[in-house]
Amino acid sequence: MKCVIVDASGHPGGHTGAACIRMSKVFEEAGWDVDYLTVPASTSSHCNGCGSCSSSGVCIFQDPMSAVIERIRDSDILVLASPIRFSGLSSQMKMLIDRMNPLWHVRGKVPSWVCWVLCGGSPEPKFTNARSELNALTLGIGSQCGGYLEVSGTDSDGVTETANAAGDFAADLVARLSTRR
């Protein structure tokens, strides 16, 4: 299985990054081919809504985000990880989703499964908005939801708890998705 994990936190040493690293290790131990990527937001262009990708399947901007999109296109499983900010996805994740427009418009190779990890700082974060956006993305590109992990209380809990929860989630994904394509 080819898996791409995208950390859209902008803070590699935080909870979301720790979750991604742990998941990468679990997947690699299971024999999966894993790419662990971060969103190159500072050096990438935002979608301008020009619509060129609707016919060509390729974004007019050829920048570091283009390479991320191509790796996503070539994966079997995509794991999107984001902290919750103001009850929604991080700005980095929003940028990535917007730049995934070529996958919406021109059907071709897309991941069979999309999974996500959401880390919320408060004891009772509002995951609903983020979950809705990620469900729309998953359905829009023609993938299936492989599952999701929502971790709350990350402002007060240590990263070890988040990493352990992500490791358990990854082990479950390996057990459920390894035999499915």
The CATH class, in words, for 2-177 is alpha beta
Counting Cβ atoms within 10 Å, is residue 29 exposed (0-12), middle (13-18) or buried (19+)?
A: exposed
Query: What 3-state DSSP class applies to 69?
Result: helix
Predicted confidence at residue 13, as pLDDT, reads 83
Q: Tell me the Ramachandran region of residue 128: left when phi exceeds 0, alpha when psi lies from -120 to 50, beta otherwise.
A: alpha
CB 111, CB 4: distance < 8 Å: yes
Mean pLDDT of the chain: 92
Side-chain half-sphere CA neighbours of 110 within 13 A: 21
Predicted confidence at residue 10, as pLDDT, reads 86
Side-chain half-sphere CA neighbours of 162 within 13 A: 27
pLDDT band, very low/low/confident/very high, at 181 (cuts 50, 70, 90): low
pLDDT tens-digit map of 67-112: 999 999 999 999 999 999 999 999 999 999 999 998 887 667 899 9
Q: Which two tokens stand for residue 65?
A: 């985000």
Partners of 151 in beta bridges = 119
pLDDT tens-digit map of 46-55: 999 998 988 8
Instruction: Output 176 or 178, whichever has higher pLDDT.
Output: 176
pTM assigned to the model? 0.94
pLDDT band, very low/low/confident/very high, at 56 (cuts 50, 70, 90): confident
Percent of residues, the chain, with pLDDT higher than 70: 98
Statement: residue 43 has pLDDT above 90: no
Statement: residue 41 has pLDDT above 80: no
Amino acid at 29: E
pLDDT tens-digit map of 130-163: 999 999 999 999 999 999 999 999 988 789 999 9
Side-chain half-sphere CA neighbours of 62 within 13 A: 2
Average pLDDT for 149-178: 93
